[in-house]
Amino acid sequence: MPELPEVEIVRQSLNKKINGKIIKKVIVKNRNLRFKIPLNFTSILKNKRIIKVDRFSKYLIIFLSNDHVCLIHLGMSGTIHLVNKKRKNFITNTSFYHSPTLPKKHNHVEIFFDDLKFIYNDPRRFGYFEIIQNFELLKNKINKFGPEPFSAKFNFDYLHSFLKNKEKNIKNFLLDQRFVSGIGNIYASEILYLSKIKPDKKAKNLTKKELKKILINSKKVLSNAINKGGSSIKDFKNISGLEGEYQKDFKVYQRAGLKCKRFNCEGIIKKKNISNRSTFFCNLCQKH
């Protein structure tokens, strides 16, 4: 599933290509995604201008000229393709994972502009579209989630008060969107490695020093991932034909059995299932 950095790269691609454009036509080929696409979806979008493409956590947020907001979640396998109607573009995929070119099957939603066509493809159909009537309702929805790692609200006092006396392990908290928004399985492992914290350590046992490391490294890992175009762990290229580069910087993720990359550490990267999620860590420098 795309995490915050990957969705941010998609946002950047979309904002560059469709911001300011007017939606000429909408075709919904299959309403049966994770949640059914609303019956009035087409009428709400048609003839509206794209004001801005934004993002919160793993959600794409498209602001429309009628004050409505279209929220998109890519789920497990959702990808967004942009097809230029005037010239053939060989790379269509703005998203991560799967083919860089437009697949023939599972194209569920098509949104037409003068010169472009936006196509939502999703073989597993865990993604969804949601129409929100105004900005206030959008804020109410966002407020149900924890802050993003880049938010000023994600600070030491917040971590200390939220995690104290909690029995659950820190890896699970990093994946809990009610605690912090946008971190998924890949980056949780990388953050804990940089922080030298064992993934199954109980939250209540974290020291103040460790909490500060989590704060710093959450921002550091996600910023680096965004700067390097996200992580391409399958066949991904973005709309410019460029692969994400951050997977080359993985310290632990998918490195089970390999030597730890930390200077002067002789540890080996181990793999362990925590709450049915593959978790990677060094057996020496993440002892505690």
Which residues are the active-site residues?
2-3, 58, 277
Pick left, alpha or beta for residue 22 (phi over 0 → left; psi -120 to 50 → alpha; otherwise beta): beta
Q: Pick the closest to residue 4 from 54, 52, 53, 55 (CA basis).
A: 55
Q: Pick the closest to residue 18 from 241, 182, 239 (CA basis).
A: 239
Q: Contact, 128 vs 73, CB < 8 A?
A: yes
* Cβ neighbours, 10 Å, residue 227: 11
Q: 3-state DSSP call for residue 14? A: helix
Q: Which two tokens stand for residue 86?
A: 């005037």
Distance of CA 52 to the CA centre of its chain: 18
Task: Output the DSSP codes for 98-147.
Answer: S-SS--SS-EEEEEE-SSEEEEEE-SS---EEEEESSHHHHHHHHTTSPP
Distance CA 200, CA 11 (A): 33
Element (H, E) at 272: strand 269-274
